[in-house]
Amino acid sequence: MKFLPFVWRQLVRNKLRTALTAGAIGLAVALVCLLLTMPAGMNALLADVASNTRIVVHNEAGLVYPLPYAYLQKIRSQPGVVAAASWTWFGGAFREEKGVEFPNFAVEPDPLGVVWEDWNMDPQALADFRRYRDAAIVGRGTLLKNDWKIGDTVTLKGTIWPVDLRFRIVGEIPSERAPHFWFQREYLDQALRAAGLGGLDFMGTAWVRVDDPARVGPVMRDIDAMFRNSEAITASETEKSYFANFFSMLEGFVTIILIVTGLVALCIVFIAANTASMAVRERIGEIAVLKALGFSRRLIFGTLLAEAVLLAGVGGLLGALFSLVITRVIHAQAEGWSPALGPLGSFIVTETILVQGLFLALFVGMLSGVVPAFGAARRSVAATLREVF
Amino acid sequence: MIDVRDVSRVYHRGADEVHALEHVSLFIERGRFVALMGPSGSGKSTLLNLIAGLDRPSGGVVEVAGQRLGDLGEDELARFRARHVGFVFQFFNLIPVLDARGNVELPLLLTKLGRAERRARADTALRVVGLAERADHKPSELSGGEQQRVAIARAIVTDPEIVVADEPTGDLDAKNAVEILALLRDLAREFGKTVVMVTHDPRGEAFVDEIHHLDKGVLRDTVAGGAGGGGA
């Protein structure tokens, strides 16, 4: 510890270089800390979004393949099923040039309040949705994004079918993270018939409310068993698993980002090593003098390594604290979700991640300092004095 | 005190062998102020490095303060230097980020002394060289003569038996050179240090007890200096 002031003085002798190197290390550590929040953040997001009694049934071949609409009635008749509703993708664009900006589905109006009971939709809005053929219920996120309000009339241009549908907004899904745009299935069915395209005899997915969380597994097995030998085999999964599948694509992206981050961290090691090498090269004469005074090789190695570790440690600590503060601020602002910040509020730098970031910084410091420190420590003092002076 | 017996030092430069010292023998008593003189490449700095424990001989024996330095490993040599030898260099070689007191205190970091005791000893050493009031100044704020005084304070702060000085007046003006020579002489006379100095400076002859002339790695002669009474 008595060498710490000496090490610190050496570290701050070139303040600009020290600050820039610490900044580079800090930035890399902050980046790594932020990325480390993603797996836990996504889990938290899923747990928040998904119900434990809601399941989704889709074609085993994939989400883009439809299911016969007749399946819905059979699903509703299964023991344990409280209610079921279908989603059929319309793919309507509000601004044609921007394409589909929010998911819009044709649904049955009657079971909505039961299947999505936990979404606390206004009973009056649900009643109006049932009453008006052209009614739409829209997620608050999409309402805010488009500056719509209840009572507005909007037209969506079909991007799959050649029909444009005009809607009156009668209610909202009271969650800012809800992007949905729901309208009556019958409305789309009639529009397609009027256009000579035949009616809707299929659905995209079926959403099912089960009476007991403990029965979710058996109900899923029963539904899939029922259609095992049918024209379209079903695959049932919990809502959490369904969203997780979407996120899994994102996880692949996260993996790529983590690999890139690893490479960035490696670059930072090289930058820090270069800084350490420059610092040692500049002071090779001083180091020889210290050796002449009796500083052992081990001590020279230790003080130089401590310098590199201290620099990386300070930079890393600042970076980790920066990531902690920024995620806490976003969390406080967004309260988990906001239209402007999306799901960012769910990603929190925990104490564990903070410690991981700090250890990464110390590791970078050790890795970057060990070679120059070793080289300086093993140089012959007499030869160096002869060379330098 | 310092016993150099039949010492040779050979360097390898590529395929060539450079004989920096050849069969040099020399004895220096405790408390003497001794100059090693000679032209460039005569081997005087090599001999100084061997006496100071910075280098090992290729042949012969170097015995200083009762220790045969050729037998010591790197770490043992470092400990030997820390305990027994103080260094003064031509270009002062102070650490620029430390003030005068910090520089003088540096060798004491290798001891078990506490912070207060280290500071007190550094201040005492600075008083001995007449720089007590400049203790808080960085090397860049000191003149060449003052920097060399700080270097001397650093050399004596651990109370070593031997002080080695490599061209201590080489980078100083005449006035400061004389003051530094007088200070080194006082270290020998008043504090009983054995001071070994490599120098080209003819003014040094008047201050030392004995002068050893080297040429081409060989000890040519030993004569009494202006301060000494004997010679060989």
Under an 8 A CB cutoff, do B154 and A386 touch? no
Under an 8 A CB cutoff, do B78 and A294 touch? yes
Judged by CB atoms within 8 Å, which residues 5-44 of B form the interface with A? none
Work out the mean pLDDT of chain B and round it to a whole number: 91
* Closest CB from A6, A289, A297 relative to B109: A6
Under an 8 A CB cutoff, do B49 and A382 touch? yes
What is B88-147 written as a DSSP string? E-TT----TTS-HHHHHHGGGGGSS--HHHHHHHHHHHHHHTT-GGGTT--GGGS-HHHH
Question: A with B: how many residue pairs have Cβ under 8 Å apart?
Answer: 69
B101 at A interface, C-beta within 8 A: no
- Chain B residues close to A297, C-beta within 8 Å: 74-75, 78
Q: By percentage, how much of chain B surpasses pLDDT 70?
A: 98
- Chain B residues close to A301, C-beta within 8 Å: none
- Give residue ranges of A with CB < 8 Å to any B CB: 2-3, 6, 9-10, 12-13, 285-286, 289-299, 380-382, 385-386, 389
Residue among B37, B71, B33, B35 at smallest CA distance from B185: B33
Top-confidence range, A4-8, A346-350, B56-60:
B56-60
Distance from CA of A296 to the nearest CA of B (A): 5
Q: By percentage, how much of chain A surpasses pLDDT 90?
A: 53
User: Tens digits of per-residue pLDDT, A151-210?
Assistant: 999 999 999 999 999 999 999 998 877 889 999 999 999 999 999 988 899 999 999 999
Q: Residue A317: its pLDDT value, please? A: 94
SS3 assignment, position A154: strand
Q: Residue A275: its pLDDT value, please? A: 85
ipTM of the complex in this document: 0.89
**CB crowding A310-332: b at 16 or more within 10 Å, else e:** bbbbbbbbbbbbbbbeebeebbe
Under an 8 A CB cutoff, do A385 and B91 touch? no
Q: What structural domains does chain B harbor?
A: 2-95+159-224 (3.40.50.300)
Top-confidence range, A32-36, A92-96, B121-125:
B121-125
Q: Residue A388: its pLDDT value, please? A: 63
User: Tens digits of per-residue pLDDT, A253-297?
Assistant: 667 777 877 887 788 888 888 888 888 888 888 999 999 999 999
Under an 8 A CB cutoff, do B109 and A292 touch? no
Interface test with B, best of A9, A17, A289 (most B CBs within 10 A): A289
| Backbone dihedral angles phi then psi of residue B27, each to the nearest 5 degrees | -130, 130
Given a contact cutoff of 8 angstroms between Cβ atoms, the answer to whether B55 and B44 are in contact is no
* Closest CB from A9, A382, A386 relative to B97: A9
Under an 8 A CB cutoff, do A3 and B95 touch? no
The tokens for B53 are 């424990």
User: Tens digits of per-residue pLDDT, B129-171?
Assistant: 999 999 999 999 999 999 999 999 999 999 999 999 999 998 8
Q: Is pLDDT of A112 > 50?
A: yes
- Chain B residues close to A293, C-beta within 8 Å: 81-82, 87, 106-107, 110, 154
User: Tens digits of per-residue pLDDT, A122-139?
Assistant: 999 999 999 999 999 999
Residue identified by tokens 């597994």 is: A217
Q: Residue B232: its pLDDT value, please? A: 38
B52 at A interface, C-beta within 8 A: yes
Residue among B186, B226, B176, B220 at smallest CA distance from B204: B226
Q: Residue A342: its pLDDT value, please? A: 59
